[in-house]
Amino acid sequence: MKRTSTLDMASLATATALGVVMSFAATMGAAAQTEITFSYLWGGVEGEALEQIIADFNASQSNIVVKGVSSPDTTKQLASMSSTSGSFDISDNFGSNVGAWASKGILHPLDDAGIDVADFIPASIDQVTYDGKLYSIPIAVHDYQLIYNKKLLDEAGVAVPATMDELAAAIKALTKVDGSGNITQLGLGYAWMPTTMTVLGYAFGGDWNGGGKPTPTDANAIKGVNFYADNVVRPYTSAAVNKFIAGFGPYMSPEDPFHTGKIAMVIDGEWRSASLGKVEGLDWGVAQIPAASPELANSTLVEVSTLFIPTNSQHKAEAAEFLKYLVSPPVMAKFSHALGNLPARTSLLGDPIYADLPNYAAWLDALKSPNAKSFSSAPYVTEYVTDLGSAFDAVVQGTQTAEDALKGVADRSATYAQ
């Protein structure tokens, strides 16, 4: 009994000591890992796709643990970047903000991050470069086309418009008003007003950023704004349009007005190719946005979704490693496919992974158009785009003419940081 007890005691002591060693080793292993926070603007299905990529990265190595946080509030994002100690180590936004943020010193330069940008679409790199330095890396690019409801066009006997005159006629034929003057169906709506107005300005041959400077009073750009106001708003009054829009469900939800047939046509981006195909009973197509003349065919706005590291990140090296993973060809392909986005790498533009996305080629082909334009990366662009949005809204609300509203932007542009 005594011998057995002694052996048991010895075994217990050995097991206890081994447990302590293993616990210490586990603690040391955990301590060796660096946790970084990836605060991203995406949510819903897009956020779920990103979380899967985060999980894949975490499983691929043992030095870094990425914690994903969906935070669509851009005001909160900027506040964190501007503080002494930020709440995240890597995040995303759009290329149009890079110049303004880099000039404030809140973006960490990425020239030494070890990312070869030779394979990236040149225009996307131009938009994330400020004062000769790279401050962000493109994860995807975007452009805009005319999406239409085939059933509604067929019922109205309307062909897919190819000219501005045809678009104006289609809007009229596809807009329905009841006996009380209430709009029940809108011929052309918008996913986001500033984008729609900007693209229409390009389609009339305008340039919002001519010579790298704000040109809000460009005569042809103003024609695009007036086209929307003259054909969508003024025939039915701003009050009637506002009342109709007030009943819309959330964007890209089951109650989205394009999903439910309340809007017959809309100008929107390529990400809709991944979602519209899942809407039961919706037969839809995509066409080039009509242009004022043949030489302006396939005029569109190109935007860039980017990834960046804030200056106040406490884990810049680890964040850079994760950033490199996110923009590597296989991961970029997986991510952009899940979201229906256009990849930022030229080597992926013909990748068969995108073959199952309906109508995706229309947006892809637009990237090759000489009439695909983007705003510069100058520090003033963020403020300028905000002012343009306010001016566009004033026109749609009927409180100002396009000429007066955009002259006001031109006057304010004299105060922009250059």
The C-alpha atoms of residue 82 and residue 101 are separated, in whole angstroms, by 10
So what's the pLDDT on residue 5? 38
Q: What percent of the chain has pLDDT over 90?
A: 86
3-state SS, one letter per residue, for 12-49 = HHHHHHHHHHHHHHHHHHHHHCEEEEEEECCCHHHHHH
The arrangement of strands across the sheet holding 64-70 comes to 64-70, 34-40, 90-94, 303-308, 137-142, 342-343
- pLDDT digits 0-9 by tens, 279-292: 999 999 999 999 99
Shared-domain flag, residues 155 and 275: yes
Tokens standing for 121? Answer: 């679409």
Compare 128 and 45 and report the one with higher pLDDT: 128
Number of domains in the chain: 2
SS3 for 252? coil
* Judgement on whether residues 128 and 245 belong to the same structural domain of the protein: no
How far, in Å, CA of 353 to CA of 351, rounded? 5
> Which residue range forms the structural domain that includes residue 248?
144-301+380-413
Enter the tokens of residue 81.
Answer: 């970047």
**Quick check: 363 and 294 in contact, CB under 8 A?**
no
Asked if pLDDT for residue 310 goes beyond 90, the answer is yes
Q: Residues 376-413: pLDDT tens digits?
A: 889 999 999 999 999 999 999 999 999 999 999 999 99
Sign of the CA dihedral running 86, 90, 93, 94: positive
23 pLDDT tier (thresholds 50, 70, 90): very low
| Mean confidence (pLDDT) of the chain | 91
Give the type of residue at 316: K
Are 136 and 158 in a shared domain? no
Residue 372 lies in a domain: no
Alpha-carbon distance values, 2 to 7, 8, 73, 91 (Å): 9, 10, 70, 65
Say if residue 154 is in the same domain as residue 238: yes
Q: What is the pLDDT of residue 138?
A: 97
**Burial level of 389, CB count in 10 A (0-12/13-18/19+)?**
middle
Q: Could you tell me if residue 280 is left (phi over 0), alpha (psi between -120 and 50 degrees) or otherwise beta? A: beta
Backbone angles phi and psi of 184, in degrees to 5: -115, -15
Q: Does residue 59 lie in a domain region?
A: yes
Q: pLDDT tens-digit profile of 162-188?
A: 999 999 999 999 999 999 999 999 999
Inform me whether the pLDDT recorded for 4 exceeds 50: no
Within a domain: 15: no
- Residue 357 above 80 pLDDT? yes
Asked if the structure places residue 110 within a domain, the reply is yes
Quick one: 93 and 117 in the same domain? yes
Assess whether pLDDT exceeds 60 at residue 366.
Answer: yes
Q: Supply 28's token pair.
A: 């040391």
pLDDT at 276 over 90: yes
Q: Are residues 79 and 122 both part of a single domain?
A: yes
Could you tell me if 246 and 167 lie in one domain?
yes
Q: Is residue 45 situated within a structural domain?
A: yes
Rg (alpha carbons) of the chain, rounded to whole number = 26
Strand partners, 269: 144
Joined tokens for residue 357: 């996305």
**In what side-by-side order are the strands of the sheet with 183-190?**
176-177, 183-190, 263-269, 144-149, 284-287
pLDDT digits (tens, 9 = 90+) for 246-275: 999 999 999 999 999 999 999 999 999 999
* pLDDT range class, residue 199, cuts 50, 70, 90: very high
Asked if 141 and 124 touch (Cβ cutoff 8 Å), the reply is yes
Residue 179 belongs to domain with CATH number: 3.40.190.10
Asked if residue 183 and residue 318 are part of one domain, the reply reads no
- The answer on 323 and 296 residing in a single domain is no
Shared-domain flag, residues 99 and 201: no
Are 150 and 296 found together in one domain?
yes
> In 10 A of CB 368, how many CB atoms?
9
- Same domain? 267 vs 405: yes
* Residue whose tokens read 């995108």: 354
**Confidence at residue 12, expressed as pLDDT on a 0 to 100 scale:** 41
Query: In sequence order, what DSSP letters do the residues of 236-248 get, joined into one string?
Result: T-HHHHHHHHTTP
End-to-end Cα, the chain, rounded Å: 89
Burial 213-243 (b: 16+ CB within 10 A, else e): ebbbbbeebbbbbbbbbebbbeebeeebbee
Residue 159 lies in a domain: yes
Q: What is the mean pLDDT of residues 127-131?
A: 93
Supply the pLDDT for residue 31.
52
The whole-angstrom separation of Cα 215 and Cα 203 is: 16
Q: Are 408 and 216 in contact (CB under 8 A)?
A: no
Report the predicted TM-score, pTM, of the whole model to 2 decimal places: 0.86
- Asked if residue 310 belongs to a domain, the reply is yes
Token pair belonging to 64:
């870094």
Residue 296 forms part of a structural domain? yes
